[in-house]
Structure 1
Amino acid sequence: MNKPILSERFKSRTPSDVRLAQMKYDERKVKPEAVINVGIGNVSLPTNPAMQKRMFSLNAPESPFAKGVVRYTGTAGFSETQDAFLNILNCEGFDTSKLKVQITDGGSSAMELLILGVCGGPGTNDKPLMMIDPAYTNYISFAERIGRKTVTVKRKLGVDGKFSLPELDKIEEVIKEHNPGALLVIPYDNPTGQLYDYETLKGLAKLCVKYNMWIVSDEAYRELYYVEDSELVSIWGVTDKDVPGIEGRRISIETTSKVWNACGLRIGALITDNPEFNNRSVAEYTANLCANAIGQYIFGALAHESKEQIASWCKSIREYYKKMIFKVYNGLKEQEPGLIVSSPDASIYTVVDVRDVVKPGFDAIDFVLYCAQEGSVNYNGVETTLLVAPLKGFYDIPAGENNPGSTQFRIAFVETPENMEKVPELFVKLLRQYEASR
């Protein structure tokens, strides 16, 4: 009997690099005593107290779910949830008077909508999304899913741990060659931990105006920066006063996942100062009906927080990560001085490059699979393995070409401080064990 035929897309699909290690570990028949998973940014901290209050009182008289009824919201989301995102920006000093907010199922849905809204037709090379490699792998995956083209300019990781952006004239050459519809920036970068300053953002914004492109800023980690005396950077801080013509072409992607510690809430937003983009995006999203109603209500609590409360929360989260990130950064260098570790400037990620300490032919994915499927080391008497994310999928590079991610990994600071302290020793021991086996 004939079997039903899968699509070519499904036949070729492999797990995202950020989920690969966990999926393969789940399949492991004989597991070690302990596993530490820093392969995905699944934050384990409690969410904001105002959000917790709503989460634990969904049946309170003032809750829209008090009678047990959970209806659709409008496609653009509850107005209170929209106001929560605007309130955070207002409290941080940005003018939100002309901003339009659309609530989405997590930042991920916002990414897909964005690509649909700024790129050319499916299956063409028209108006690609321009990214800065290495870029968050979900943008690449979503573009592939809906048949849109992406182009990149490449950063390089120096031995000093700094990622260097190409000169603006080099970026301009790529723009002239490919005529992109939009430029994506992640000022508090995932996966590199790089922190953009305003001068860099303004320089990129000028190119977007010059070549009539949208500028898109993924601001999932906006409040998480660790460089002394640096200022809060956002696309909403770049106005016509700085870059004439930039207003009306700005878009940001927001999420409850990281700063607000609510990954599983699956609430995000697409914010723009272009009313037509907002109208068309909401129209496109009507097929999805609406985002998670209960999640919207929980996050809506932040619409009523004061400037002082928002600032205090963000400061506490920033200090928590800063202490942990620097401890792991220093620990990796102490365990193996030959490692190249990205400078811990922003977000909740560090990139580790093993290119100077491994034998030729090393492949990051093979090492991740080894750790997930068979590897383990003794850590204080406990057999333990470590799950990290290979960086190959974060580079938009054609098959057959040299991929810098072949020797690079992303570490997410999502485990407890106690477990994060174990990461440097576990990573280096597992790396040496793997190298000895091949």
Structure 2
Amino acid sequence: MPLVSKKGKNMPESPIRKLVPYAEKAYKANKTVYHLNIGQPDIKSPKIAMDAVANHHIKTLAYTRSEGSQEYREKIAEYYHKNNIPAEADDIVVTTGGSEALLFAMGSIADVDDEIIIPEPFYANYNGFATASGINIVPVISKIENNFALPPISEFEKLITPKTKAILICNPGNPTGYLYSKEEIQALAKLVLKHDLFLVADEVYREFTYDGSKHYSILAEESLAENGILIDSVSKRYSMCGARIGCLVSRNKEVISTALKFAQARLSPPTFAQIASEAALQTPQRYFDEVIVEYQDRRDTLVNALKEIPGVKVGVPKGAFYCIVQLPIKNSDKFAQWLLEDFDDNGETVMVAPAAGFYSSPGVGLNEVRIAYVIKKESLIRAVEILKIALEKYKD
């Protein structure tokens, strides 16, 4: 029998999606499942985006340019300027989601066996993107005890080798919700310039910051004109995960021309999704104001409820809509499966994302889960109540 590739065998399972078969069994057993496992917002997509597709006048659904339509890229550039991020249309390659932007970035800056340093825990699919690209992730651990703040720069510097090509951050962070300060971004900028590395920032949650905190983009740093690569997406900003539209942004012309070759190989991003995404850029500020108030209220509700459970420790997010929760258990994979297979409270249970998959260091995060607060406050309250009962009954 022919064998699959080593690369294929090494591709990690999604810690978010691998439990889906168990959830489906729970549905068949007529259980109600509160989904705390996946960052799919329940917020409605902007009407202006949906109307743009519904009211289109396209006669032939043709290819667009590989880098995305000129009109859409110009509108994205306008959006960035409003957010004090200097970027022009020619600095942007539109991609099929932020995921493809990350793949294009890795393919453009690193060769097989090169290294990228990433503070962990990090978005689980970074592991998959790196495996697909033949790149090695070198983790630097951030800790729940200091709310997953940026590790000391000296810890990064220890890890830099001739194979190091970049440092990658997610800001605000998935799965931690940590928001890097301007001073932390500037410290990273100084480090990558010293060692002639790229700084790649996944900024898809830029709009979602709390407690009066402000997001600071890496491209706001003029010193990073040649070293900065921004990853973006409409998925979370406009609650348009299914649109699958993102972009790679850099003022480094060689990076853009290289990423464009990857874009040409897959032809073009989807036309209707670009139409929706272009229209979404006209979404009024009140939409975000209301969403941020809602998410901050959900965050406070979730964190306060979790803190009432004995033995539970939780990081307090300053952005995005996730938090890492440390539980009084040994193995969150087994616990998450047990929740779906063997437990319910009055026919209800919860689905969480085991956090070990958000680390690349072996044996780290085994007693942690990621929770996404993308369901209504009343559901969050009930979900935490169920979690508390489950922890009381669970035996490792």
Report the TM-score range of the alignment, normalised by the length of the smaller protein: over 0.9
Return the alpha-carbon distance in structure 2 between the equivalents of residues 276 and 363 of structure 1.
45
Return the alpha-carbon distance in structure 2 between the equivalents of residues 20 and 8 of structure 1.
20
Aligned counterpart in structure 1 of residue 196 of structure 2, from 204, 207, 212: 212
| Conserved? CA contact 1:47–1:262, under 8 Å | yes
Aligned counterpart in structure 1 of residue 110 of structure 2, from 113, 119, 131: 119
Amino acid paired to 1:341: V
Question: 1:38-437 residue pairs with structure 2 within 5 A?
Answer: 38-58=36-56, 63=57, 65=58, 67=59, 69-97=60-88, 100-120=91-111, 122=112, 124=113, 126=114, 128-158=115-145, 162-175=147-160, 177=161, 179-228=163-212, 230-240=213-223, 246-303=224-281, 305=282, 310-334=284-308, 336-354=309-327, 357-358=328-329, 362-378=330-346, 383-398=347-362, 402-403=363-364, 405-435=365-395
**CA-CA distance at 1:24 after TM superposition:** 2.8
**CA-CA distance at 1:413 after TM superposition:** 1.7
**CA-CA distance at 1:218 after TM superposition:** 0.5
Return the alpha-carbon distance in structure 1 between the equivalents of residues 209 and 391 of structure 2.
29
| Conserved? CA contact 2:303–2:314, under 8 Å | yes
Return the alpha-carbon distance in structure 2 between the equivalents of residues 71 and 97 of structure 1.
25
Provide the identity percentage. 26
* Bigger Cα displacement from structure 2, 247-256 vs 41-50: 41-50
Amino acid paired to 1:165: L
**CA-CA distance at 1:231 after TM superposition:** 2.2
Q: Structure 1 residues 80 and 417 mapped into 2: Cα distance closer, same or farther (>3 Å)?
A: farther
Return the alpha-carbon distance in structure 2 between the equivalents of residues 165 and 277 of structure 1.
26
RMSD, aligned CA: 2.0
| Conserved? CA contact 2:31–2:344, under 8 Å | no
Return the alpha-carbon distance in structure 1 between the equivalents of residues 37 and 52 of structure 2.
30
Return the alpha-carbon distance in structure 2 between the equivalents of residues 281 and 15 of structure 1.
26
Q: Structure 1 residues 24 and 84 mapped into 2: Cα distance closer, same or farther (>3 Å)?
A: farther
| Conserved? CA contact 2:219–2:225, under 8 Å | no
Return the alpha-carbon distance in structure 1 between the equivalents of residues 385 and 231 of structure 2.
36
**TM-score in terms of structure 2 length:** 0.94
Q: Structure 1 residues 44 and 180 mapped into 2: Cα distance closer, same or farther (>3 Å)?
A: same
**CA-CA distance at 1:431 after TM superposition:** 2.4
SS of residue in 2 equivalent to 1:20? coil
Paired residue for 1:243?
Answer: none
Return the alpha-carbon distance in structure 2 between the equivalents of residues 310 and 93 of structure 1.
18
Return the alpha-carbon distance in structure 2 between the equivalents of residues 408 and 9 of structure 1.
28
SS of residue in 1 equivalent to 2:45? coil
Q: Structure 1 residues 156 and 215 mapped into 2: Cα distance closer, same or farther (>3 Å)?
A: same
- Structure 1: give runs of 5+ residues left out of the alignment: 241-245
| Conserved? CA contact 1:259–1:317, under 8 Å | no
**CA-CA distance at 1:54 after TM superposition:** 0.9
* Bigger Cα displacement from structure 2, 424-433 vs 146-155: 424-433
Return the alpha-carbon distance in structure 1 between the equivalents of residues 338 and 162 of structure 2.
39
| Conserved? CA contact 2:37–2:351, under 8 Å | yes
Amino acid paired to 2:148: F
Q: Structure 1 residues 14 and 395 mapped into 2: Cα distance closer, same or farther (>3 Å)?
A: closer
Q: Structure 1 residues 254 and 29 mapped into 2: Cα distance closer, same or farther (>3 Å)?
A: closer
Deviations 1:236-260 (A, max 9, x none): 22223xxxxx222111111111111
**CA-CA distance at 1:386 after TM superposition:** 0.7
- Structure 2: give runs of 5+ residues left out of the alignment: none
Return the alpha-carbon distance in structure 1 between the equivalents of residues 257 and 267 of structure 2.
15
Q: Structure 1 residues 169 and 14 mapped into 2: Cα distance closer, same or farther (>3 Å)?
A: closer
Amino acid paired to 1:162: N
Amino acid paired to 1:237: A
| Conserved? CA contact 1:84–1:301, under 8 Å | no
**TM-score in terms of structure 1 length:** 0.85
Q: Structure 1 residues 190 and 90 mapped into 2: Cα distance closer, same or farther (>3 Å)?
A: same
Q: Structure 1 residues 5 and 83 mapped into 2: Cα distance closer, same or farther (>3 Å)?
A: same
What is the number of residues matched between the two proteins?
396
Amino acid paired to 2:349: T
Deviations 1:106-129 (A, max 9, x none): 111111111111212x2x2x3x11
